[in-house]
Structure 1
Protein backbone atom coordinates (compact mmCIF):
# COMPACT_ATOMS: atom_id res chain seq x y z
CA UNK A 1 0.00 0.00 0.00
CA UNK A 2 1.41 3.38 -0.96
CA UNK A 3 1.30 6.41 1.28
CA UNK A 4 -0.84 9.25 -0.06
CA UNK A 5 -2.19 12.57 1.05
CA UNK A 6 -0.65 15.20 3.31
CA UNK A 7 1.56 12.67 5.11
CA UNK A 8 3.20 11.57 1.84
CA UNK A 9 3.67 15.19 0.79
CA UNK A 10 5.28 15.96 4.14
CA UNK A 11 7.66 13.02 3.77
CA UNK A 12 8.53 14.07 0.22
CA UNK A 13 9.23 17.64 1.36
CA UNK A 14 11.36 16.34 4.23
CA UNK A 15 13.42 14.30 1.75
CA UNK A 16 13.78 17.36 -0.48
CA UNK A 17 14.99 19.40 2.51
CA UNK A 18 17.52 16.69 3.37
CA UNK A 19 18.79 16.59 -0.22
CA UNK A 20 19.17 20.36 -0.25
CA UNK A 21 20.82 20.49 3.17
CA UNK A 22 23.24 17.73 2.25
CA UNK A 23 24.29 19.67 -0.85
CA UNK A 24 24.65 22.94 1.08
CA UNK A 25 26.56 21.42 4.01
CA UNK A 26 28.84 19.54 1.61
CA UNK A 27 29.54 22.67 -0.41
CA UNK A 28 29.87 25.26 2.39
CA UNK A 29 30.38 23.36 5.66
CA UNK A 30 28.19 23.56 8.74
CA UNK A 31 29.13 27.02 9.98
CA UNK A 32 28.80 28.72 6.58
CA UNK A 33 25.42 27.16 5.78
CA UNK A 34 22.32 28.97 6.96
CA UNK A 35 18.89 27.52 7.62
CA UNK A 36 17.50 30.45 5.63
CA UNK A 37 19.50 29.44 2.53
CA UNK A 38 18.54 25.76 2.85
CA UNK A 39 14.89 26.80 3.15
CA UNK A 40 15.17 29.08 0.11
CA UNK A 41 16.81 26.35 -1.97
CA UNK A 42 14.07 23.90 -0.91
CA UNK A 43 11.31 26.36 -1.83
CA UNK A 44 10.25 27.03 1.76
CA UNK A 45 10.26 29.84 4.25
CA UNK A 46 12.59 29.47 7.22
CA UNK A 47 9.52 28.79 9.40
CA UNK A 48 8.40 26.12 6.92
CA UNK A 49 11.73 24.36 7.15
CA UNK A 50 11.70 24.57 10.95
CA UNK A 51 8.32 22.81 10.88
CA UNK A 52 10.18 19.71 9.62
CA UNK A 53 13.42 20.15 11.58
CA UNK A 54 13.26 22.23 14.75
CA UNK A 55 16.94 23.29 14.72
CA UNK A 56 19.90 23.47 12.38
CA UNK A 57 21.64 20.84 14.53
CA UNK A 58 18.71 18.43 14.18
CA UNK A 59 18.77 18.91 10.41
CA UNK A 60 22.52 18.42 10.34
CA UNK A 61 22.32 15.16 12.32
CA UNK A 62 19.69 13.82 9.95
CA UNK A 63 21.94 14.69 7.02
CA UNK A 64 24.83 12.80 8.68
CA UNK A 65 22.62 9.77 9.34
CA UNK A 66 21.46 9.88 5.76
CA UNK A 67 25.07 9.98 4.61
CA UNK A 68 25.73 6.78 6.56
CA UNK A 69 22.60 5.18 5.12
CA UNK A 70 23.66 6.10 1.58
CA UNK A 71 27.04 4.51 2.22
CA UNK A 72 25.36 1.10 2.54
CA UNK A 73 23.62 -1.13 0.04
CA UNK A 74 19.83 -0.50 0.20
CA UNK A 75 19.00 -4.00 1.45
CA UNK A 76 21.60 -3.78 4.24
CA UNK A 77 19.87 -1.38 6.63
CA UNK A 78 20.25 -3.67 9.63
CA UNK A 79 22.72 -1.22 11.22
CA UNK A 80 25.44 -3.79 11.72
CA UNK A 81 28.82 -3.44 10.11
CA UNK A 82 31.62 -5.68 8.93
CA UNK A 83 34.92 -5.50 7.11
CA UNK A 84 33.10 -6.32 3.88
CA UNK A 85 30.61 -3.52 4.35
CA UNK A 86 33.40 -1.06 5.13
CA UNK A 87 35.15 -2.08 1.91
CA UNK A 88 31.91 -1.71 -0.04
CA UNK A 89 31.25 1.73 1.46
CA UNK A 90 34.75 2.90 0.51
CA UNK A 91 34.18 1.71 -3.06
CA UNK A 92 30.77 3.42 -3.32
CA UNK A 93 32.13 6.64 -1.80
CA UNK A 94 34.25 7.17 -4.92
CA UNK A 95 30.99 7.99 -6.69
CA UNK A 96 29.78 10.42 -4.00
CA UNK A 97 32.35 13.22 -3.66
CA UNK A 98 29.83 15.58 -2.07
CA UNK A 99 29.01 13.07 0.66
CA UNK A 100 32.66 12.33 1.27
CA UNK A 101 33.47 16.05 1.45
CA UNK A 102 30.60 16.54 3.92
CA UNK A 103 31.76 13.68 6.11
CA UNK A 104 35.41 14.73 6.15
CA UNK A 105 34.70 18.39 6.83
CA UNK A 106 32.01 17.75 9.41
CA UNK A 107 34.03 15.15 11.30
CA UNK A 108 36.97 17.58 11.40
CA UNK A 109 34.74 20.47 12.53
CA UNK A 110 33.20 18.31 15.26
CA UNK A 111 36.52 17.99 17.07
CA UNK A 112 36.03 21.44 18.60
CA UNK A 113 33.63 21.61 21.50
CA UNK A 114 31.00 19.30 22.85
CA UNK A 115 28.24 20.03 20.32
CA UNK A 116 25.76 17.63 18.82
CA UNK A 117 28.07 16.77 15.92
CA UNK A 118 30.90 15.94 18.33
CA UNK A 119 28.68 13.48 20.19
CA UNK A 120 27.42 12.01 16.92
CA UNK A 121 30.94 11.30 15.66
CA UNK A 122 32.20 9.94 18.98
CA UNK A 123 29.31 7.48 19.13
CA UNK A 124 29.55 6.66 15.42
CA UNK A 125 33.23 5.74 15.68
CA UNK A 126 32.66 3.65 18.83
CA UNK A 127 29.83 1.78 17.14
CA UNK A 128 31.68 1.31 13.85
CA UNK A 129 34.89 0.03 15.42
CA UNK A 130 32.99 -2.29 17.77
CA UNK A 131 30.96 -3.73 14.86
CA UNK A 132 34.00 -4.30 12.65
CA UNK A 133 35.96 -5.75 15.59
CA UNK A 134 33.16 -8.25 16.16
CA UNK A 135 33.33 -9.33 12.51
CA UNK A 136 37.11 -9.69 12.78
CA UNK A 137 36.72 -11.72 15.98
CA UNK A 138 34.30 -14.09 14.21
CA UNK A 139 36.76 -14.51 11.32
CA UNK A 140 39.57 -15.21 13.79
CA UNK A 141 37.50 -17.82 15.64
CA UNK A 142 36.68 -19.49 12.32
CA UNK A 143 40.41 -19.68 11.50
CA UNK A 144 39.99 -17.33 8.50
CA UNK A 145 42.15 -14.60 9.99
CA UNK A 146 45.25 -14.54 12.12
CA UNK A 147 44.82 -13.80 15.80
CA UNK A 148 48.19 -11.98 15.90
CA UNK A 149 46.32 -8.67 16.01
CA UNK A 150 43.58 -7.69 18.43
CA UNK A 151 40.20 -7.30 16.69
CA UNK A 152 39.64 -3.77 17.98
CA UNK A 153 43.12 -2.68 16.89
CA UNK A 154 42.59 -4.09 13.40
CA UNK A 155 39.16 -2.42 13.18
CA UNK A 156 40.60 0.92 14.28
CA UNK A 157 43.38 0.68 11.68
CA UNK A 158 40.89 -0.12 8.92
CA UNK A 159 38.60 2.78 9.83
CA UNK A 160 41.56 5.17 10.11
CA UNK A 161 42.84 4.05 6.71
CA UNK A 162 39.40 4.51 5.13
CA UNK A 163 39.09 8.02 6.54
CA UNK A 164 42.63 8.98 5.57
CA UNK A 165 42.19 7.65 2.05
CA UNK A 166 38.99 9.68 1.69
CA UNK A 167 40.89 12.85 2.55
CA UNK A 168 43.70 12.01 0.11
CA UNK A 169 41.13 11.23 -2.59
CA UNK A 170 39.35 14.55 -2.07
CA UNK A 171 42.66 16.41 -2.38
CA UNK A 172 43.78 14.52 -5.51
CA UNK A 173 41.06 12.20 -6.89
CA UNK A 174 43.05 10.97 -9.87
CA UNK A 175 45.93 9.63 -7.81
CA UNK A 176 44.10 7.61 -5.13
CA UNK A 177 42.17 4.38 -5.68
CA UNK A 178 40.54 4.08 -2.26
CA UNK A 179 38.95 0.67 -2.81
CA UNK A 180 42.12 -0.93 -4.16
CA UNK A 181 44.27 0.43 -1.34
CA UNK A 182 41.76 -0.70 1.31
CA UNK A 183 41.70 -4.18 -0.22
CA UNK A 184 45.49 -4.33 -0.16
CA UNK A 185 45.57 -3.25 3.49
CA UNK A 186 42.99 -5.89 4.42
CA UNK A 187 45.03 -8.50 2.58
CA UNK A 188 48.13 -7.50 4.55
CA UNK A 189 46.26 -7.62 7.87
CA UNK A 190 44.95 -11.08 7.02
CA UNK A 191 48.51 -12.35 6.50
CA UNK A 192 50.01 -10.84 9.67
CA UNK A 193 51.90 -13.57 11.52
Structure 2
Protein backbone atom coordinates (compact mmCIF):
# COMPACT_ATOMS: atom_id res chain seq x y z
CA UNK A 1 0.00 0.00 0.00
CA UNK A 2 2.79 2.41 -0.90
CA UNK A 3 0.36 4.77 -2.65
CA UNK A 4 -1.87 4.97 0.42
CA UNK A 5 1.19 5.84 2.53
CA UNK A 6 2.18 8.51 0.01
CA UNK A 7 -1.34 9.95 0.09
CA UNK A 8 -1.28 10.16 3.89
CA UNK A 9 2.16 11.77 3.95
CA UNK A 10 1.22 14.36 1.33
CA UNK A 11 -2.20 15.02 2.88
CA UNK A 12 -0.66 15.53 6.32
CA UNK A 13 1.77 18.08 4.89
CA UNK A 14 -0.94 19.90 2.92
CA UNK A 15 -3.30 20.16 5.89
CA UNK A 16 -0.46 21.33 8.13
CA UNK A 17 0.58 24.01 5.61
CA UNK A 18 -2.73 25.14 4.09
CA UNK A 19 -5.17 24.43 6.88
CA UNK A 20 -7.95 21.90 7.25
CA UNK A 21 -10.69 23.96 5.60
CA UNK A 22 -8.43 25.06 2.74
CA UNK A 23 -7.23 21.57 1.82
CA UNK A 24 -9.51 19.79 -0.59
CA UNK A 25 -9.56 16.24 -1.87
CA UNK A 26 -8.64 17.76 -5.25
CA UNK A 27 -5.54 19.39 -3.73
CA UNK A 28 -4.44 16.07 -2.31
CA UNK A 29 -5.27 14.05 -5.44
CA UNK A 30 -3.42 16.55 -7.66
CA UNK A 31 -0.38 16.42 -5.37
CA UNK A 32 -0.17 12.62 -5.61
CA UNK A 33 -1.04 12.37 -9.30
CA UNK A 34 -4.47 10.78 -8.96
CA UNK A 35 -8.02 11.74 -9.79
CA UNK A 36 -10.30 12.43 -6.83
CA UNK A 37 -12.04 9.11 -7.44
CA UNK A 38 -8.65 7.41 -7.66
CA UNK A 39 -7.61 8.90 -4.33
CA UNK A 40 -10.85 7.86 -2.63
CA UNK A 41 -10.29 4.31 -3.90
CA UNK A 42 -7.74 4.02 -1.07
CA UNK A 43 -10.21 5.17 1.63
CA UNK A 44 -13.85 4.38 2.37
CA UNK A 45 -14.74 8.07 2.48
CA UNK A 46 -13.33 11.58 2.77
CA UNK A 47 -13.93 11.39 6.53
CA UNK A 48 -11.88 8.19 6.74
CA UNK A 49 -9.02 10.00 4.98
CA UNK A 50 -9.17 12.80 7.58
CA UNK A 51 -9.14 10.28 10.44
CA UNK A 52 -6.20 8.44 8.89
CA UNK A 53 -4.31 11.73 8.61
CA UNK A 54 -4.81 12.21 12.37
CA UNK A 55 -3.67 8.63 13.01
CA UNK A 56 -0.55 9.33 10.96
CA UNK A 57 0.13 12.47 12.99
CA UNK A 58 -0.30 10.49 16.21
CA UNK A 59 2.12 7.82 14.96
CA UNK A 60 4.71 10.49 14.18
CA UNK A 61 4.21 12.06 17.62
CA UNK A 62 4.56 8.66 19.31
CA UNK A 63 7.77 7.92 17.41
CA UNK A 64 9.29 11.27 18.39
CA UNK A 65 11.71 11.34 21.31
CA UNK A 66 10.28 14.35 23.09
CA UNK A 67 12.71 13.99 26.02
CA UNK A 68 9.95 14.87 28.47
CA UNK A 69 10.49 14.57 32.20
CA UNK A 70 6.84 13.80 33.01
CA UNK A 71 3.46 13.45 31.28
CA UNK A 72 2.62 17.12 31.74
CA UNK A 73 5.92 18.10 30.15
CA UNK A 74 5.25 15.70 27.27
CA UNK A 75 1.81 17.21 26.69
CA UNK A 76 3.31 20.69 26.79
CA UNK A 77 5.98 19.77 24.22
CA UNK A 78 3.36 18.27 21.90
CA UNK A 79 1.13 21.34 22.30
CA UNK A 80 4.12 23.59 21.48
CA UNK A 81 4.73 21.52 18.37
CA UNK A 82 1.04 21.77 17.43
CA UNK A 83 1.34 25.56 17.32
CA UNK A 84 3.67 25.05 14.36
CA UNK A 85 1.00 23.12 12.40
CA UNK A 86 -2.22 25.12 12.78
CA UNK A 87 -3.99 23.21 10.03
CA UNK A 88 -3.70 20.01 12.02
CA UNK A 89 -5.05 21.75 15.12
CA UNK A 90 -8.00 22.96 13.02
CA UNK A 91 -8.59 19.43 11.79
CA UNK A 92 -8.35 17.95 15.29
CA UNK A 93 -10.76 20.49 16.80
CA UNK A 94 -13.28 20.20 13.95
CA UNK A 95 -13.32 16.42 13.83
CA UNK A 96 -13.25 15.92 17.60
CA UNK A 97 -16.24 18.24 18.06
CA UNK A 98 -18.20 16.47 15.33
CA UNK A 99 -17.24 13.02 16.63
CA UNK A 100 -18.06 13.87 20.25
CA UNK A 101 -21.61 14.81 19.37
CA UNK A 102 -22.31 11.98 16.93
CA UNK A 103 -21.50 8.37 17.85
CA UNK A 104 -21.99 7.42 14.18
CA UNK A 105 -19.37 9.89 12.98
CA UNK A 106 -16.44 8.13 11.25
CA UNK A 107 -13.99 9.75 13.71
CA UNK A 108 -15.94 8.82 16.86
CA UNK A 109 -14.12 5.53 17.53
CA UNK A 110 -10.74 7.12 16.78
CA UNK A 111 -11.24 9.91 19.31
CA UNK A 112 -12.71 7.60 21.96
CA UNK A 113 -9.70 5.28 21.63
CA UNK A 114 -7.26 8.18 21.55
CA UNK A 115 -8.63 9.70 24.76
CA UNK A 116 -8.75 6.31 26.50
CA UNK A 117 -5.11 5.66 25.60
CA UNK A 118 -4.02 9.16 26.61
CA UNK A 119 -5.84 8.92 29.94
CA UNK A 120 -4.48 5.44 30.67
CA UNK A 121 -0.86 6.32 29.80
CA UNK A 122 -0.77 9.71 31.50
CA UNK A 123 -2.50 8.38 34.61
CA UNK A 124 0.02 5.54 34.88
CA UNK A 125 2.89 8.01 34.51
CA UNK A 126 1.45 10.30 37.18
CA UNK A 127 1.03 7.30 39.51
CA UNK A 128 4.70 6.48 38.96
CA UNK A 129 5.54 10.09 39.83
CA UNK A 130 3.59 9.72 43.07
CA UNK A 131 5.53 6.57 43.92
CA UNK A 132 8.79 8.46 43.26
CA UNK A 133 7.64 11.33 45.47
CA UNK A 134 7.50 13.80 42.56
CA UNK A 135 3.73 14.27 42.81
CA UNK A 136 1.66 14.80 45.92
CA UNK A 137 0.15 11.59 47.24
CA UNK A 138 -3.24 13.22 47.82
CA UNK A 139 -3.70 14.16 44.15
CA UNK A 140 -5.75 11.80 42.01
CA UNK A 141 -3.62 10.99 38.92
CA UNK A 142 -6.72 10.27 36.85
CA UNK A 143 -8.27 13.64 37.71
CA UNK A 144 -4.99 15.44 37.01
CA UNK A 145 -4.86 13.72 33.62
CA UNK A 146 -8.42 14.77 32.80
CA UNK A 147 -7.70 18.37 33.78
CA UNK A 148 -4.52 18.49 31.68
CA UNK A 149 -6.29 17.05 28.64
CA UNK A 150 -9.17 19.51 29.11
CA UNK A 151 -6.77 22.45 29.39
CA UNK A 152 -4.91 21.28 26.29
CA UNK A 153 -8.08 20.85 24.24
CA UNK A 154 -9.60 24.09 25.49
CA UNK A 155 -6.45 26.06 24.78
CA UNK A 156 -6.41 24.73 21.22
CA UNK A 157 -9.85 26.25 20.67
CA UNK A 158 -8.81 29.55 22.25
CA UNK A 159 -5.61 29.55 20.16
CA UNK A 160 -7.59 29.10 16.95
CA UNK A 161 -9.51 32.27 17.85
CA UNK A 162 -6.39 34.11 18.98
CA UNK A 163 -3.02 32.67 17.90
CA UNK A 164 -1.22 35.00 20.31
CA UNK A 165 -2.42 32.73 23.15
CA UNK A 166 0.37 30.38 24.22
CA UNK A 167 -1.32 26.99 24.54
CA UNK A 168 1.63 25.25 26.16
CA UNK A 169 2.05 27.85 28.91
CA UNK A 170 -1.37 26.95 30.30
CA UNK A 171 -0.65 23.21 30.22
CA UNK A 172 2.66 23.90 31.97
CA UNK A 173 0.88 25.98 34.62
CA UNK A 174 -1.36 23.07 35.64
CA UNK A 175 1.61 20.69 35.75
CA UNK A 176 3.71 23.14 37.78
CA UNK A 177 0.90 23.59 40.28
CA UNK A 178 0.62 19.83 40.80
CA UNK A 179 4.36 19.24 41.01
CA UNK A 180 5.08 22.38 43.05
CA UNK A 181 2.67 21.11 45.67
CA UNK A 182 5.26 18.45 46.55
CA UNK A 183 7.85 21.06 47.47
CA UNK A 184 5.29 23.03 49.46
CA UNK A 185 4.15 19.92 51.33
CA UNK A 186 7.72 18.89 52.25
Flag whether TM exceeds 0.5 (same fold): yes
Q: What secondary structure is seen at the aligned counterpart in 1 of 2:135? A: coil
For residue 71 of structure 2, the aligned residue among 69, 77, 82 is 82
Matched, 1:181 2:170: yes
Distance 2:153 2:135 in 1: 23
Match of 1:15 in 2: 9
Match of 2:94 in 1: 105
Match of 1:55 in 2: 45
Matched, 1:124 2:118: no
For residue 163 of structure 1, the aligned residue among 153, 158, 162 is 153
Q: Deviations over 1:54-105 (max 9, x none)?
A: 43233122111123234456346xxxx9333212101111211111111111
CA separation of 1:41/1:109 partners in 2, compared to 1, >3 Å: closer, same or farther? farther
Q: What secondary structure is seen at the aligned counterpart in 2 of 1:52? A: coil
CA separation of 1:137/1:122 partners in 2, compared to 1, >3 Å: closer, same or farther? same
Q: What secondary structure is seen at the aligned counterpart in 1 of 2:21? A: helix
CA separation of 1:13/1:65 partners in 2, compared to 1, >3 Å: closer, same or farther? closer
Match of 2:144 in 1: 154
Distance 2:8 2:79 in 1: 27
CA separation of 1:70/1:170 partners in 2, compared to 1, >3 Å: closer, same or farther? farther
> Normalising by the residue count of structure 2, what TM-score does the alignment of the two structures yield?
0.80
Give yes or no for contact 1:17–1:38 (8 Å, CA) kept in 2. yes
Give the gaps of 5 or more residues in structure 2: none
Distance 2:4 2:111 in 1: 29
CA separation of 1:68/1:146 partners in 2, compared to 1, >3 Å: closer, same or farther? same
Report how many aligned residue pairs link the two structures: 178
